Structure 1
């Protein structure tokens, strides 16, 4: 309600909460001077809940805000301005700060923040003043699949046109841990991304956050992502990564390597 851009609606998709969530959001709706829509959603993964929000939304742009996080007052205005001013940009994100719960403020957390605070630090992006420009050339970077694998930010940090999902599809609901940057990879194939230099979102770190909970249940997410890159992005990545993917997924390449080794021994 404090956003400087006020032409917004709030869509809340509640995954059958068993705490005080619904009571809190009903109070918010009663106090709000903007449209607030509350939907109950049958839990089937975070991707399904995100997609439910998109399907229920009526606006031109989608801006996520997860229950743990905070938007600074100018966040939506600045993101809309970028998307309206450059049609080649399909998604705009921003730098983010951190709110660390006292019980979570230990050495491991501080080390994590040091390593993941600036996700674009090693990408040498073109800086256009208000934002840095991220294009599909990032797939050729030697840092593409190096930590941090997420080069954009958590979904609370970005905004995109609702029409984008008609072009690239919704979030994959079979992924638990990497679905957000897999989505951004698809955006990069058809549009540029802008990373605002301002910290416009505060990302909360605590013991019960969904990212931490899902980390031990991510199954084959990273194997799926590797295979997806092999199938969909092979010609965009650098030579070293091409060779690794060929060794990993191409039976003919594996056979060729085996024959070469036998010839060397013979």
Structure 2
């Protein structure tokens, strides 16, 4: 594998936890693969997020910080990062997670060795109030694997930049809020692209109960049902399955939020 490939790590933040965000940034700085740039978009934070990010950026020239005055949502923030990315590969990162030290190296090695894949993700360690658990993902998901939920962990994914651009990046719309990754992965499959999951845990993913409750707001379940219906049809899935699995978020959204949190932890 060439050592001169530039990886653009992208992260959208909004009112981040200082300790978790610093931990996330440090996990990239500790990567075994060193040729990266870290592009962070502060999406209209109203706390001290932008202040401490500026301090972090001063200490490492590879960190590039952008900000917006208003909150536009994660899809918008990530698209701004992509526009400012110079790398041939785009790696996602969330501000409350940890990339294990060899994540970037192993994902890059896979993509440079397997030209037939447009993106790669990984098994991961799930961190929640129930402790830590290893989550295994299907090695080579097919379009049918999108029926229940996304078969890829978004923040653990590395993309070929050219393929992200071919599908116009993340779709900024009301219905993609809280489901921008699900929509993106399905659109890439619709375009004939495919992804792979490395069968090693290279990422530690945090699910907090408060964040799970935000995602359980019923309006987001309505939006997700719309995304499912439209993309399932474009994936040419059987119509019965299109209907059955499109209403799944509406059913889940009617459950108590504490139950939804447990379902998210289990399904992840």
| TM-score (normalizing by structure 1) | 0.71
* Equivalent-residue separation in structure 1 for 2:54 and 2:232 (angstroms): 46
5+ residue gaps, structure 1: 121-131, 246-266
Please give the alpha-carbon distance, in whole angstroms, between the structure 2 residues aligned to 1:197 and 1:156. 16
Q: SS of the counterpart of 1:10?
A: strand
Contact 1:47 1:172 (C-alpha < 8 Å) held by counterparts: yes
Q: 1:26 to 1:222 in 2, by over 3 A?
A: closer
Kindly indicate whether residue 117 of structure 2 is the aligned counterpart of residue 118 of structure 1.
no
Q: Per-residue deviation at 1:68?
A: 0.6
CA contact (8 A) 2:119 2:157 kept: yes
Tell me, yes or no, if the aligned pair for 1:182 and 1:225 is still in contact at 8 Å. yes
1:19–1:150 distance in 2 versus 1, CA, 3 Å = same
Note if 1:89 corresponds to 2:89.
no
Residue among 74, 89, 96 paired with 1:61: 89
Q: Which residue of 1 aligns with 2:35?
A: 7
- Kindly report structure 1 stretches of 4+ aligned residues shifted beyond 4 Å: 242-245
Q: Per the alignment, do residues 9 and 185 of structure 1 end up closer, same or farther by CA in structure 2, a change over 3 Å counting?
A: same
TM-score normalized by the length of structure 2: 0.71
* CA RMSD after TM alignment: 2.5
Give 1:38 deviation, angstroms: 0.7
Q: Which secondary structure state, in structure 2, belongs to the residue aligned with residue 57 of structure 1?
A: coil
Alpha carbons 1:176, 1:214 under 8 Å: kept:
no
Encode CA deviations 1:15-37: one digit per residue, 9 max, x unaligned.
122222223222222222x5111
Taking the aligned partners of 1:70 and 1:243, their CA distance within structure 2 comes to 37
Q: CA deviation at 1:93?
A: 0.2
What SS does the corresponding residue of 2:140 show, helix, strand or coil? Answer: strand
Give the deviation of 1:238 after TM superposition.
Answer: 4.1
Provide the C-alpha distance between the structure 2 equivalents of 1:60 and 1:225, rounded to a whole number of angstroms: 29
How many residues were matched structurally?
212
Q: Is the 2:170–2:180 contact (alpha carbons within 8 Å) kept by the matching residues of 1?
A: yes
